[in-house]
Amino acid sequence: MNQSRLEQLFKFLEEDPNDSFTLYAIATEYRKENPQKALEFYERLLAEHESYVGTYYHAAKLYEELGQSDVAERTYKKGMQVSRQEGNMHAFSELQQAYNKMMGLDYEDD
Protein backbone atom coordinates (compact mmCIF):
# COMPACT_ATOMS: atom_id res chain seq x y z
CA MET A 1 0.00 0.00 0.00
CA ASN A 2 1.47 3.31 -1.06
CA GLN A 3 0.74 5.70 1.81
CA SER A 4 1.41 8.89 -0.14
CA ARG A 5 -0.85 7.73 -2.99
CA LEU A 6 -3.54 6.86 -0.46
CA GLU A 7 -3.22 10.30 1.16
CA GLN A 8 -3.61 11.93 -2.27
CA LEU A 9 -6.67 9.81 -3.02
CA PHE A 10 -8.28 10.87 0.25
CA LYS A 11 -7.65 14.51 -0.68
CA PHE A 12 -9.42 13.86 -3.99
CA LEU A 13 -12.27 12.20 -2.10
CA GLU A 14 -12.52 15.20 0.21
CA GLU A 15 -12.85 17.45 -2.85
CA ASP A 16 -15.48 15.20 -4.44
CA PRO A 17 -16.96 12.68 -1.97
CA ASN A 18 -19.11 11.11 -4.68
CA ASP A 19 -16.39 10.36 -7.21
CA SER A 20 -16.72 6.66 -7.95
CA PHE A 21 -13.28 6.35 -9.51
CA THR A 22 -11.60 7.75 -6.39
CA LEU A 23 -13.54 5.34 -4.17
CA TYR A 24 -12.50 2.49 -6.45
CA ALA A 25 -8.87 3.59 -6.38
CA ILE A 26 -8.90 3.73 -2.56
CA ALA A 27 -10.36 0.22 -2.37
CA THR A 28 -7.65 -0.98 -4.75
CA GLU A 29 -4.93 0.56 -2.59
CA TYR A 30 -6.25 -1.20 0.50
CA ARG A 31 -6.87 -4.51 -1.29
CA LYS A 32 -3.71 -6.45 -0.39
CA GLU A 33 -2.78 -5.14 3.04
CA ASN A 34 -6.19 -4.38 4.51
CA PRO A 35 -8.88 -6.39 2.71
CA GLN A 36 -11.57 -5.49 5.24
CA LYS A 37 -10.99 -1.78 4.64
CA ALA A 38 -11.03 -2.41 0.88
CA LEU A 39 -14.35 -4.18 1.29
CA GLU A 40 -15.80 -1.12 3.04
CA PHE A 41 -15.04 0.98 -0.03
CA TYR A 42 -16.27 -1.69 -2.47
CA GLU A 43 -19.51 -1.93 -0.50
CA ARG A 44 -19.90 1.83 -0.56
CA LEU A 45 -19.45 1.75 -4.33
CA LEU A 46 -21.98 -1.05 -4.70
CA ALA A 47 -24.51 0.90 -2.62
CA GLU A 48 -23.93 4.40 -3.98
CA HIS A 49 -22.69 3.78 -7.54
CA GLU A 50 -24.56 0.71 -8.74
CA SER A 51 -23.69 1.31 -12.40
CA TYR A 52 -19.92 1.43 -11.76
CA VAL A 53 -19.44 -1.99 -13.33
CA GLY A 54 -15.77 -2.46 -12.42
CA THR A 55 -16.60 -2.83 -8.75
CA TYR A 56 -18.56 -6.06 -9.04
CA TYR A 57 -15.72 -8.34 -10.14
CA HIS A 58 -13.26 -7.12 -7.51
CA ALA A 59 -15.80 -7.02 -4.70
CA ALA A 60 -17.03 -10.53 -5.51
CA LYS A 61 -13.47 -11.87 -5.66
CA LEU A 62 -12.75 -10.34 -2.27
CA TYR A 63 -15.94 -11.85 -0.82
CA GLU A 64 -14.74 -15.22 -2.15
CA GLU A 65 -11.33 -14.79 -0.52
CA LEU A 66 -12.98 -13.87 2.76
CA GLY A 67 -15.10 -17.04 2.65
CA GLN A 68 -18.38 -15.24 1.93
CA SER A 69 -19.43 -17.37 -1.04
CA ASP A 70 -23.12 -16.48 -0.85
CA VAL A 71 -22.38 -12.76 -0.99
CA ALA A 72 -19.84 -13.34 -3.78
CA GLU A 73 -22.44 -15.24 -5.80
CA ARG A 74 -25.01 -12.45 -5.39
CA THR A 75 -22.40 -9.84 -6.30
CA TYR A 76 -21.38 -11.66 -9.48
CA LYS A 77 -25.03 -12.06 -10.51
CA LYS A 78 -25.83 -8.41 -9.83
CA GLY A 79 -22.70 -7.38 -11.72
CA MET A 80 -23.73 -9.46 -14.74
CA GLN A 81 -27.17 -7.85 -14.67
CA VAL A 82 -25.78 -4.32 -14.39
CA SER A 83 -23.07 -4.84 -17.01
CA ARG A 84 -25.67 -6.16 -19.45
CA GLN A 85 -27.90 -3.14 -18.76
CA GLU A 86 -24.93 -0.83 -19.31
CA GLY A 87 -24.03 -2.61 -22.55
CA ASN A 88 -20.62 -3.59 -21.20
CA MET A 89 -20.34 -7.11 -22.58
CA HIS A 90 -16.62 -7.35 -21.81
CA ALA A 91 -17.33 -6.88 -18.09
CA PHE A 92 -20.28 -9.25 -18.38
CA SER A 93 -18.02 -11.94 -19.84
CA GLU A 94 -15.38 -11.52 -17.13
CA LEU A 95 -18.02 -11.67 -14.41
CA GLN A 96 -19.63 -14.73 -15.94
CA GLN A 97 -16.29 -16.54 -16.20
CA ALA A 98 -15.43 -15.76 -12.58
CA TYR A 99 -18.91 -16.79 -11.46
CA ASN A 100 -18.69 -20.06 -13.38
CA LYS A 101 -15.31 -20.81 -11.87
CA MET A 102 -16.54 -20.12 -8.35
CA MET A 103 -19.58 -22.35 -8.95
CA GLY A 104 -17.45 -25.15 -10.40
CA LEU A 105 -18.97 -24.73 -13.84
CA ASP A 106 -15.71 -24.05 -15.64
CA TYR A 107 -14.35 -27.13 -17.25
CA GLU A 108 -12.12 -27.89 -20.17
CA ASP A 109 -12.19 -30.84 -22.48
CA ASP A 110 -9.40 -33.25 -21.75
Q: What pLDDT, in 10s, does the model give residues 1-23? A: 678 999 999 999 999 999 999 99
pLDDT at residue 108 greater than cutoff 70: no
pTM, 2 dp:
0.89
Alpha-carbon dihedral sign for residues 50, 53, 57, 62: negative
Tens of pLDDT, residue by residue over 32-53, are: 999 999 999 999 999 999 999 9
HSE toward the beta carbon, residue 58, CA cutoff 13 A: 24
* pLDDT average, residue stretch 76-84: 98
Domain covering 3-102, topology: 1.25.40
Backbone angles phi, psi at 16, to 5 degrees: -140, 85
* Domain ranges (residues) in the chain: 3-102
C-alpha closest to that of 56 among 30, 86, 15, 13: 86
Rounded Cα distance between 110 and 104, Å, is: 16
Which three-class secondary structure state does DSSP give residue 107?
A: coil
Task: Identify the pLDDT of residue 91.
Answer: 97
